[in-house]
Structure 1
């Protein structure tokens, strides 16, 4: 099979070049993986800092680097709940946790298990049902945990894929599949044979098997399709071990998997039907790697490796059997296909293998077919237009930076939610736990800490300052230390908070100096606004050529000087917030609350504003106090212009509300009313413009 004619070797090399050009190359794969590992690490240090007993693992194609722009893979997030402890041996029992015994017997499907509830005080099975919603007593008297717990999490989710909650991506964002998982620290006994297994090419390696044994496994809430007890079975997941295996593949093996997914999407799963999953393709690939010499997996042999995987996939479909790579007895195709579907799939795979070159040339995803035609000189250069390899790499690297910045914004919001209604001592403890990652973390934790911590330091400093201002209108040295520690979070947001603190204490000179310096810095770099409060997609014009250049040349640290985050003040910072902006904390009437998402819209009880509008608003107010009237009018003009011309404002209604109040101070009530009406056009509900209009009209009536 592996003695290839020249045309196969040539086609393999051309395919490898095309895949390199569309981003399946070492540089992009490594940067994509780093982005996901950093986001996973940031989630970890966030949860540990706020005492959230759960860990998020980012798995699947994004974390493996086995996707392209055209494949548009979603994020697979496993949320591991550490208040549970799944054991296989009584010695693993942990007091203070919900302990369950993993049971695999004649009633469970291979690769699945039952979970038997144990007593919290001693190593014995529990007796008496705790709650009938989540548990059931079987014929042997065992109290078993139902996997239907996920149904409680489905409110607001688009759909359910097995054990996953699918969160539909908004424009410009990826979809997420969130899987709730329970941890088992030990390696599953049903997979013990894999730890001693080694294929022809000495793969999986000893290092992989050691990692797997050390990592343990999860159980996730789904039963087998052929189970007699679908509500009681939990699937045993070895996803961390599988990810480690994927991270150790060479670039040819990764390219082969990407091609399999493109073929799957283009030919084997018509109308997006989930007949064969990408996980099945991955499993087939891993089996093929295990059963071949490693020397086979080279760029000049890619086409043959692909054919080998397709033949193996065809065999799986024919036999209705695709063995899980690690738990061999688990048949991934059990109950998956009807006879008609099986026949159609088998026919499609055979058709592709027999006409493989022509089928490859017709793949539209990432223009793979057209690019291959050009490489093979089937068509003249210039007949098709597509981005060059360099352009694609730059765009992908830019996307990684933006994704990561949005991830920081999301984590910062997550922390702010846990600061709400807490006293300063509790918040200090949260910050102290975050600080431990500066001193004791690994390299990834250090890197994630350096990017997330400044936002937290600024908020903590602002909370301390607000408390001091409330007591004596002064800012303590301790508050200033924390505010200063956060100044380099991004180009503007933390500096604007410090300026707002000085403005609130009447220190106009220092506030003006910070604002002037921030404005100079802002326009010295190609800055992109970042806001994760909403899921608005930035227009393409927002990402300039200079911004793309910086992202493609720098690491993720560049977010410190090429991004501008929105400025968030929570209630605990209210004394540091200009009076006009404080109204935003009270935007929602009782009626409005019905139209809010309890989790996603929590920021509506805060004062949140884009950086530039806040900068010019503060300048307007400060120049008034300093009696620099010409500068004050210039600041007002800048505020008007940025609202009228900047398409990237994510909190435009807030900017219009503060502009309206400026117009009231200018004694221009008609323009103020126009601002508030425009604000309501942006957001009809949960908008304090309604209050401003009432106040304005009431004032006009009184004056008349």
Structure 2
């Protein structure tokens, strides 16, 4: 039977559990961070690795979702050089080379150079030298040296020094924090596909409880390991040594934590930041050491212990384990316990132990002093008022709650916004690549789709699961479908081929869900070019009229740097929708994002006349020959032209009014120079010379580097001069 003190601790555990939700450590925010980071790694790898030479992997807090707005944890990004595979021994390498040389496996021009792990008497446990085996004449991007045994091995220093950054941090080049951003550690690495024998103890050790689960451990061997460029500090050959990194396995465990385990780790990190870091300088307690203590605690306690009402007990047990390790000056690596991951000297060691002892002396009081994300203030108020999550008074407590809620809103909006920006920019780079002509662009896009649909290859290349790879591909493929479809339509127009036109329409339909608007307006532009006016009108008029209410407007062509301030605009309606419905970014992209519509030079036949001017002037300049227009602007402009063709004068006026209203009152529009040119052309046709010139001048002021507005001004003035001359001649003849 529980004592009163135990009941009190369990009650406060539940309170802290809820406070951490308010502070940005909720399960939704955690899963959102994980999703965004893992998908981004696949996208980034696709961009840099069209020939399977490299891959990108983000680890630690960002990919694990174990950070909060207040913690603002660093981003650890690993670039793996996949063109040089690592093998544990020569026999493994020889076996793989034999497979590569079998018919159909060795790609044309592919070299068989590789790396073999090399461990000798000068190499401490947890480290390895990398012996380079060069089977062809190859210009290497790094330095080879002879070790003390005469072996040709890789130097680790030159690779880190080749990276750009503000400072060096172990094996990483670090870009330091800017306002509103986090530190980014760029870590070069090599990858071995197999689990090394030196770490077999992990699979054979006696575990009191089944952690990690057998199904998770079964995947570890297939993930392989990384080698990062850092040697043992006390070794004479540290410049030739590479540390074994089990980051993939570590991340696998962290992705499968339950909510209590996740929040326990967040509390440990907050304790480190608020109590250890301010009192201990130099190399001290790290997040990885906190994580390691939790892993060993999870091995020695049942799953039933890790529940919300035991959160404080879980936290205390981890701190006790850390204190014992640091007192002895040895913190074991979780995957190779013979490796000491403690780096502090005796002075630091004593200071950290003293801080941990103070925390353990009164852990509840310590938690109420946490400054990070106002956890302590929120906890104090909730305890003082004996509150639960559904009972918040209207008094001073609401100030802390409001500030915490505001920070959470900003963080969640930023997560969605930044992910959408990155995804859209990558999609834009893929579809704006111009191979010179229609046939080449069609072939390129077909190959892109084929590559993205080769899920097995992408899983192997990115070291991600099928689920993550499928989700990542689903973000990008609709944009490519739209681009391929429009190019097939152009080919069908040029060759008067219904076959190509029908194929193009099929791909355009598959690209309708690329985002909320761009795929649809580009489809409508194609229908307009094919004189399918009723179909185009139906497609555009079925969209919501109030597009500006909860839509993120995002440029995808990289040509709108001056259109937006460096900070993003908070859309309150969208924020509340996100917090209440908890969607994935894919839903925000498809239902709440409007990207610009892109047109390449060979898409000239499907462009309305005024946008053809834009493209021709772009080709004549030194800029990238791509026409981009805000999808909301293009929607109303197309509706105006469609109703003009159909003779619907009233609908023409309505479309023009919406176009003007959107340009005048939507602060999020991109490519305002193009929008003003389109509006100016309409005014010129209507005989509104003054209005037309005002639009063209606005366009010129918005982007003085483009010549389109100048040409429109000259054409407008010339038309006015001719009209004035004709009117004068008519008056004289009368």
TM-score normalised by L of structure 2: 0.79
SS of the equivalent of 1:333 reads: coil
1:260, distance to aligned residue in structure 2 (A): 0.9
Residues 629, 444 of structure 1: alpha-carbon distance in 2 compared, 3 angstrom cutoff: same
Question: CA-atom RMSD, angstroms?
Answer: 4.3
Distance, in Å, in 2 between the alignment partners of 1:605 and 1:266 is 53
1:322 maps to 2:331? yes
Residues 700, 554 of structure 1: alpha-carbon distance in 2 compared, 3 angstrom cutoff: closer
Question: Which of 455, 460, 465 is residue 489 of structure 2 equivalent to?
Answer: 465
1:283, distance to aligned residue in structure 2 (A): 1.9
Distance, in Å, in 1 between the alignment partners of 2:453 and 2:266 is 40
Residues 249, 627 of structure 1: alpha-carbon distance in 2 compared, 3 angstrom cutoff: closer
Counterparts of 1:484-633 in structure 2 under 5 Å? 484-518=509-543, 520=545, 523=547, 526-531=550-555, 533=558, 536-541=566-571, 543-544=573-574, 547-548=577-578, 551-552=581-582, 556-557=586-587, 559-581=589-611, 605-626=625-646, 628=648, 630-633=650-653
Match of 1:415 in 2: 430
Structure 2 unaligned regions, length at least 5: 98-110, 388-392, 460-465, 722-734
> Mean alpha-carbon deviation: is it higher for 83-92 or for 139-148?
139-148
Match of 2:728 in 1: none
1:188 maps to 2:196? yes
1:215 maps to 2:207? no
Distance, in Å, in 2 between the alignment partners of 1:338 and 1:660 is 71
Alignment check: 8 A CA contact 1:85 1:97 kept: no
Bigger CA radius of gyration = 2
Cα shift readout 1:68-90 (whole Å, capped 9, x = no counterpart): 34333354443433322101122
Match of 1:100 in 2: 115
> Mean alpha-carbon deviation: is it higher for 550-559 or for 295-304?
550-559
Distance, in Å, in 1 between the alignment partners of 2:299 and 2:525 is 61
> Mean alpha-carbon deviation: is it higher for 361-370 or for 649-658?
649-658
Match of 2:449 in 1: 431
Match of 2:105 in 1: none
Q: How many residues align?
A: 679
Alignment check: 8 A CA contact 1:394 1:548 kept: no
1:244, distance to aligned residue in structure 2 (A): 1.9
1:620, distance to aligned residue in structure 2 (A): 3.6
Match of 2:273 in 1: 265
Higher relative contact order (CA 8 A, sep 6+): 1
1:52, distance to aligned residue in structure 2 (A): 4.0
> Mean alpha-carbon deviation: is it higher for 257-266 or for 31-40?
31-40
Match of 1:455 in 2: 479
Alignment check: 8 A CA contact 1:438 1:449 kept: no
1:242, distance to aligned residue in structure 2 (A): 1.0
Residues 395, 655 of structure 1: alpha-carbon distance in 2 compared, 3 angstrom cutoff: same
Distance, in Å, in 2 between the alignment partners of 1:682 and 1:324 is 57
Counterparts of 1:326-405 in structure 2 under 5 Å? 326-334=335-343, 337=344, 341-342=348-349, 344-377=351-384, 381=393, 382-385=395-398, 386=401, 402=417, 405=420
SS of the equivalent of 2:200 reads: helix
1:304, distance to aligned residue in structure 2 (A): 3.0
SS of the equivalent of 2:397 reads: coil
> Mean alpha-carbon deviation: is it higher for 386-395 or for 13-22?
386-395
Match of 1:651 in 2: 671
Alignment check: 8 A CA contact 1:55 1:80 kept: yes
1:251 maps to 2:264? no
SS of the equivalent of 1:286 reads: helix
SS of the equivalent of 1:490 reads: coil
Alignment check: 8 A CA contact 2:32 2:584 kept: no
Residues 584, 234 of structure 1: alpha-carbon distance in 2 compared, 3 angstrom cutoff: farther
Residues 172, 505 of structure 1: alpha-carbon distance in 2 compared, 3 angstrom cutoff: farther
Residues 302, 484 of structure 1: alpha-carbon distance in 2 compared, 3 angstrom cutoff: closer
Cα shift readout 1:623-676 (whole Å, capped 9, x = no counterpart): 455555554444333223222211222434443444455455556566555545
Residues 150, 574 of structure 1: alpha-carbon distance in 2 compared, 3 angstrom cutoff: farther
1:199, distance to aligned residue in structure 2 (A): 3.1
Cα shift readout 1:241-282 (whole Å, capped 9, x = no counterpart): 112222343332221100011112222223998743322221
Residues 545, 303 of structure 1: alpha-carbon distance in 2 compared, 3 angstrom cutoff: closer
1:32, distance to aligned residue in structure 2 (A): 4.6
> Mean alpha-carbon deviation: is it higher for 435-444 or for 95-104?
435-444
Residues 342, 701 of structure 1: alpha-carbon distance in 2 compared, 3 angstrom cutoff: farther
Distance, in Å, in 2 between the alignment partners of 1:278 and 1:259 is 11
Match of 2:72 in 1: 72
TM-score normalised by L of structure 1: 0.82
Cα shift readout 1:581-614 (whole Å, capped 9, x = no counterpart): 4566688899988xxxxxxxxxx55322321112
SS of the equivalent of 2:114 reads: strand
Question: Which of 291, 296, 299 is residue 287 of structure 1 equivalent to?
Answer: 296
Alignment check: 8 A CA contact 1:267 1:348 kept: yes
